[in-house]
């Protein structure tokens, strides 16, 4: 996978993760172009499109579009599954996730994604393991906080 973008129906970017080194300018250009293309598609259309030399796989969940760019030989269906799996993880973590959860806790959304994908490859296929890792890391953060707060 080359990159993943989350954006709203209004075209506002909510999350971006790039697995290929690109300059900020290029990233912005690609984002703008793709958001436009995907939003222009009709709801009944299939989730795949050919874009430059990449394949774009996107799916809409409520008001959010999840959009991934994969290479020619990659499997579109497994990419859809990755998107779905990520949505499930967000849902489990936030408890029935909505767009606002991701806006206000965007760093958490990144942490979850980083536990699930690494360098563009799925690193953990088990939902349970991902969530366990996140919760433990959060706890670690929490414990340290409590320790830090108490002396104050």
Which residues lie near other proteins (CB under 8 A)?
13-16, 18-19, 21-24, 28, 42, 44-49, 73, 75-78, 80-81, 103-108, 110-111, 114-115, 118-119, 121-126, 129, 133, 135-142, 144-146, 148-149
8 near 99, Cβ under 8 Å? yes
CB of 39 to other proteins, least distance (A): 15
CB of 8 to other proteins, least distance (A): 12
Query: Of 20 and 62, which has the nearer Cβ to other proteins?
Result: 20
55 near 49, Cβ under 8 Å? yes
Query: Of 62 and 75, which has the nearer Cβ to other proteins?
Result: 75
Task: Determine the Cα–Cα distance for residues 2 and 40; give it in Å rounded to an integer.
Answer: 22
- In Å, the largest CA–CA distance within the chain is 58
CB of 34 to other proteins, least distance (A): 15
Task: Determine the Cα–Cα distance for residues 131 and 89; give it in Å rounded to an integer.
Answer: 7
CB of 48 to other proteins, least distance (A): 6
CB of 151 to other proteins, least distance (A): 13
Query: Of 26 and 62, which has the nearer Cβ to other proteins?
Result: 26
Question: How buried is 76 (Cβ within 10 angstroms: 0-12 exposed, 13-18 middle, 19+ buried)?
Answer: middle
Query: Of 62 and 140, which has the nearer Cβ to other proteins?
Result: 140
Query: Of 15 and 87, which has the nearer Cβ to other proteins?
Result: 15
Q: Which residues contact 76 (CB under 8 A, 6 or more apart)?
A: 47, 48, 55, 57, 70
Task: Determine the Cα–Cα distance for residues 14 and 106; give it in Å rounded to an integer.
Answer: 8
């Amino acid at each position: 996978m080359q990159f993943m973008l989350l954006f709203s129906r209004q075209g506002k970017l909510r999350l971006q993760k790039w697995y290929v080194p690109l300059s900020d300018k290029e990233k912005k250009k690609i984002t703008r172009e793709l958001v436009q293309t995907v939003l222009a598609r009709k709801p009944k259309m299939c989730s795949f499109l050919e874009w430059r030399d990449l394949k774009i796989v996107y799916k809409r969940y409520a008001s959010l579009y999840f959009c991934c760019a994969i290479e020619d030989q990659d499997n579109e269906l497994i990419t859809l599954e990755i998107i779905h799996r990520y949505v499930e993880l967000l849902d489990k973590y936030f408890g029935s996730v909505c767009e606002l959860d991701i806006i206000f806790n965007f760093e958490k959304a990144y942490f979850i994604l980083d536990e699930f994908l690494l360098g563009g490859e799925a690193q953990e296929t088990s939902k349970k393991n991902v969530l366990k890792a996140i919760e433990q890391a959060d706890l670690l953060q929490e414990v340290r906080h409590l320790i830090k707060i108490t002396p104050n």
